[in-house]
Amino acid sequence: LLLLSILITIKTNAMNIQTATFGSGCFWCVEAIFQEVKGVSEVKSGYMGGENPNPTYKEVCSGTTGYAEVIQLTYDSDIISFDELLEIFWKTHDPTTLNRQGNDVGPQYRSEIFYHSDEQKAVAEAKIAEFNKSGIWNSKIVTAVTEINNYYVAEDYHQEYFENNPNAGYCRVVVAPKVAKFRKKFVDRLKKDYA
CB 110 within 8 A of CB 70: no
Residue 22 — φ and ψ, nearest 5°? Answer: -130, 140
Contacts of 77 (CB under 8 A, 6+ apart): 16, 17, 18, 39
Q: What is the spatial distance between Cα 153 and Cα 159, in angstroms, rounded to a whole number?
A: 9
Is 61 a residue of the active site?
no
Q: Please pick, among 26, 29, 61, 171, the residue that the annotation labels catalytic.
A: 26
* Residues annotated as part of the active site: 26
